[in-house]
Amino acid sequence: MSSSVLQSQSGDNRLSPDNAVLLMIDHQAGLCQLVRDFDVDVFKNNVLALADIGKLFKLPVILTTSFEKGPNGPLVPELKAMFPDAPYIPRPGQINAWDNPDFVAAVRATGRKKLIMAGVVTDVCVAFPAVSAMAEDFEVYVVVDASGTFNPVVRDAALQRMVAAGAIPINWFAVACEIQRDWRNDAEGLANLLAKHLPHYSNLMQSYNQQGPAK
């Protein structure tokens, strides 16, 4: 079965390279200092893993920041470097990204209804636009490990709110695998991404490479 058939079977409602858009919301140098529900290095790895998924599957990516001239700070430089041509909306003051007409216009311009969202902080910068977008019939997938906030209690309450409104919580690894569907759709690309961001998977790949493929 060809990859195109695998990605577009009739009645398929899963994430695919053709139906999803990646929204990276307020991953700013200042705001990231507030993230305490993940170890700082783990969180950064998760954010960059999600960004790499966007690149691997050639998803439309939209970047936005909130009041970056103030203490929230600029977008983390790695994201700007990874997506130099992506729509970039520096919101002048709106806390809820969905209140910014340029951001909403950029989302609508993709023609896609499945929104993969991640951001800082989870309970505000993700939850607010997630609830707003779902009220306008978008489907929202909240990437829980690429979104961060003050502590697990706050995170869990935010996720409960979003799930009650219809959001789908997911982690970056599951996003990658759901879009990939089948190892025959560029196994090397996915394997390299996983090895880059998961040390244990890197060890698995090293062991496989040393042994060689099974005969």
Fold of 18-181: Rossmann fold (3.40.50)
Sorting pLDDT into bands at 50, 70 and 90, what band is 3?
very low
Instruction: Say yes or no to pLDDT of 210 above 90.
Output: no
Residue-level pLDDT at 12? 82
Residue-level pLDDT at 6? 47
Instruction: Say yes or no to pLDDT of 119 above 80.
Output: yes
Please indicate whether residue 113 or residue 209 has the higher confidence score (pLDDT): 113
CB 11 within 8 A of CB 175: no
pLDDT, tens only, 122-169: 999 999 999 999 999 999 999 999 999 999 999 999 999 999 999 999
In the block, residue with structure tokens 């858009």: 21
pLDDT, tens only, 52-102: 999 999 999 999 999 999 999 999 999 999 999 999 999 999 999 999 999
By percentage, how much of the chain surpasses pLDDT 70? 88
Residue-level pLDDT at 201? 73
Q: In 78-100, which positions are buried (b, 16+ CB within 10 angstroms) versus exposed (e)?
A: ebeebbeebbbbbbeebebbbeb
Sorting pLDDT into bands at 50, 70 and 90, what band is 177?
very high
Sorting pLDDT into bands at 50, 70 and 90, what band is 198?
very high
Average pLDDT, the chain: 92
Which one of 20, 61, 125, 144 is the catalytic residue?
Answer: 125
Instruction: Say yes or no to pLDDT of 213 above 60.
Output: no
Residue-level pLDDT at 207? 60
Catalytic-residue membership of 32:
no
Chain-centroid distance, C-alpha 207: 29
Sorting pLDDT into bands at 50, 70 and 90, what band is 14?
very high
Determine the Cα–Cα distance for residues 23 and 159; give it in Å rounded to an integer.
17
pTM (two decimals):
0.91
Nearest to 67 by CA among 32, 106, 104, 95: 95
**Residue-range domain boundaries for the chain:** 18-181, 183-215
